[in-house]
Copies of this chain bind each other. A is one copy, B any other.
Amino acid sequence: MSTTEAFINENAPRFQEELFEFLRIPSISTLPEHADDVRRAAEFVASKLRDAGLENVEVIPTDKHPLVYADWLHAPGAPTVLCYGHFDVQPVDPIDEWKSPPFEPTVRNGSVYARGAADDKGQLYIHIKAIEALHAVHGKLPVNVKVLIEGEEEVGGESISAYLPANRAKLKADVALVSDTSMYAAGLPSLDIGLRGMIYQEWIATGPAQDLHSGMYGGAAPNAVFGLVELLAKCKNAAGVCQIPGFYDDVEPPAAAEKESWDRLPFDETEYLRTEVGSTRLTGEPGYSVMERTWARPTFEVHGIGGGFTGPGAKTVIPAKAVAKVSMRLVPRQDPAAILPLIRKFVAANTPAGISVTIRELNASPASMVSPENVFIQKAALALTDTFGVETVFTRCGGSIPVVGEFDEFLGMPTILMGFGLPDDGLHGPNEKFLLDNFQKGIRTVAHFFESLAPA
């Protein structure tokens, strides 16, 4: 066992306690009443970066939630790694379905249950503790490190999107390290070399000037809820294929080798349906495997809908207004700027008579891919394989981390997506969890990865 590993093992109980303290902060970025909690999470991160031996620690105010920056740049000849993470979390509804309170970390079966446990507090804390271990043991770091952690990842990340192009020199690095994804399976170390992008919008439908009595006007007055329902239903056919013309035009299929490697991954569709999805049937485009559908195909999804009377009992109104939250996941070569006008055109052409629909654009970011031959990817794979004792696999992730595309666009560097979550961690839903053994192994892996990047 290396001295770094020994330090990590000795300090494991303290690292865990600190993580739990972090998880107790309800830093829900989308809810204005939690703005102070997001700020408290930023201060917590800044203080731990200082403790880890990093320098130039800053809590950077923005128009919304603060960014945290730190660096350590005293390894001449060694590469520079930019560590990224986010300390904001998703809302907790439906709160009734949580088995323990979302902001009271609770250990069950070796996992800690809490909102943000895997997404992303537990994972970003791995980076901080790996840096602390290296610094404590060697009095220095084997690589140059910059750290940039945000508090708006769950709400579009506008502030970091503005900060990156304005601070190119300050943030310039050779590679970004992001731990905000999942391993393919428990015990199977994985590197995500592709992420889907996303367009997220609100569609607001209006019909009559005010809610009308459905007896008096039913049969003549347009209904905003039904109009929105008609429009949404036209967006995807019964087979799950998006009907917006041109939507699939620029989709790049996965390389044959990549597709073949996916076929070799352990996957049991029945088990996936039963334990992860929990439904009677899967859906999606025919002719594509589940992996292709969730990693390499774009989607059209409705995240929420509301309009008219939904209280208890019977109210007979023709609703004046309805709203839907809609997203499209994007895959390599699909350009959000090219797709946005296709959506607007489709909505304009397919809005029923008597209804008006306005689109509010919440965010838009492209997919991103890294070559499996990239030297940093190769060394990251070795570090994972060493720690877990199992060959690392290359996968993709169907989720969206817009900042990864921006690291490429503004800083010209690839990103290592070294995720330590598990597929059943329940991200964004109730009972989110994070395996504590992965927290521990993650710290060892990142420390080992940094050591492997030191000049020979």
List residues of chain A with CB under 8 Å of any chain B CB: 29-32, 90-91, 93-94, 97, 154-156, 182, 196, 198, 200, 207-223, 225-226, 229-230, 232-234, 236, 238, 240, 276-285, 290, 293-294, 297, 299, 301-319, 322-325, 327, 329, 352-356, 362-363, 397-400, 423, 426-430
Name the 5 nearest CB pairs between A and B, nearest first: A209-B278, A215-B399, A304-B308, A233-B233, A30-B313
Partner of A304, one of B236, B304, B315: B315
A299 near B219: Cβ-Cβ < 8 Å = yes
A318 near B301: Cβ-Cβ < 8 Å = yes
- CB-CB < 8 A to A198: which residues of B? 215, 316
Partner of A213, one of B236, B281, B427: B427
A310 near B314: Cβ-Cβ < 8 Å = no
Q: A221-B283, A229-B232, A301-B316 are in contact. List 15 more A-B contacts (CB 8 A).
A: A30-B312, A90-B315, A155-B313, A207-B279, A215-B400, A216-B397, A216-B427, A219-B398, A222-B283, A223-B301, A225-B302, A232-B233, A303-B316, A304-B319, A305-B308
Partner of A214, one of B313, B327, B363: B327
Partner of A310, one of B90, B293, B325: B325
Partner of A308, one of B277, B312, B325: B325
- CB-CB < 8 A to A283: which residues of B? 220-223, 352-354
Nearest CB of chain B from residue A169's CB, rounded to whole Å: 31
- CB-CB < 8 A to A285: which residues of B? 219
Known: A279-B222, A352-B238. A216 touches B304 (CB 8 A): no
Measured CA separation A28–B293 after assembly (Å): 49
Measured CA separation A322–B94 after assembly (Å): 13
- CB-CB < 8 A to A399: which residues of B? 213, 215-216
- CB-CB < 8 A to A229: which residues of B? 229, 232-233, 302, 305
- CB-CB < 8 A to A91: which residues of B? 309, 311, 315
Measured CA separation A232–B94 after assembly (Å): 25
Measured CA separation A238–B234 after assembly (Å): 11
Nearest CB of chain B from residue A423's CB, rounded to whole Å: 7
Closest residue of chain B to A215 (Cβ to Cβ) is: B399
- CB-CB < 8 A to A230: which residues of B? 233, 238
Nearest CB of chain B from residue A122's CB, rounded to whole Å: 16
Known: A301-B223, A313-B155. A277 touches B398 (CB 8 A): no
Q: How many copies does the complex hold?
A: 2
Nearest CB of chain B from residue A158's CB, rounded to whole Å: 11
Known: A316-B327, A429-B317. A304 touches B307 (CB 8 A): yes
- CB-CB < 8 A to A90: which residues of B? 315
B314 near A220: Cβ-Cβ < 8 Å = no
Nearest CB of chain B from residue A35's CB, rounded to whole Å: 12
- CB-CB < 8 A to A207: which residues of B? 279
Closest residue of chain B to A236 (Cβ to Cβ) is: B226
Known: A208-B279, A281-B353. A363 touches B314 (CB 8 A): yes
Known: A30-B312, A208-B278, A354-B282. A306 touches B303 (CB 8 A): no
Partner of A430, one of B31, B210, B356: B210
Closest residue of chain B to A155 (Cβ to Cβ) is: B313
Partner of A210, one of B216, B226, B426: B426
Measured CA separation A135–B12 after assembly (Å): 90
Known: A30-B314, A30-B315, A325-B308. A281 touches B222 (CB 8 A): yes
A226 near B356: Cβ-Cβ < 8 Å = no
A155 near B314: Cβ-Cβ < 8 Å = yes
Measured CA separation A93–B226 after assembly (Å): 19
B233 near A302: Cβ-Cβ < 8 Å = no
Measured CA separation A160–B220 after assembly (Å): 31
Nearest CB of chain B from residue A317's CB, rounded to whole Å: 5
B220 near A294: Cβ-Cβ < 8 Å = yes
B297 near A303: Cβ-Cβ < 8 Å = no
- CB-CB < 8 A to A290: which residues of B? 220
- CB-CB < 8 A to A302: which residues of B? 223, 225-226, 229, 308, 319
A428 near B398: Cβ-Cβ < 8 Å = no
- CB-CB < 8 A to A297: which residues of B? 219
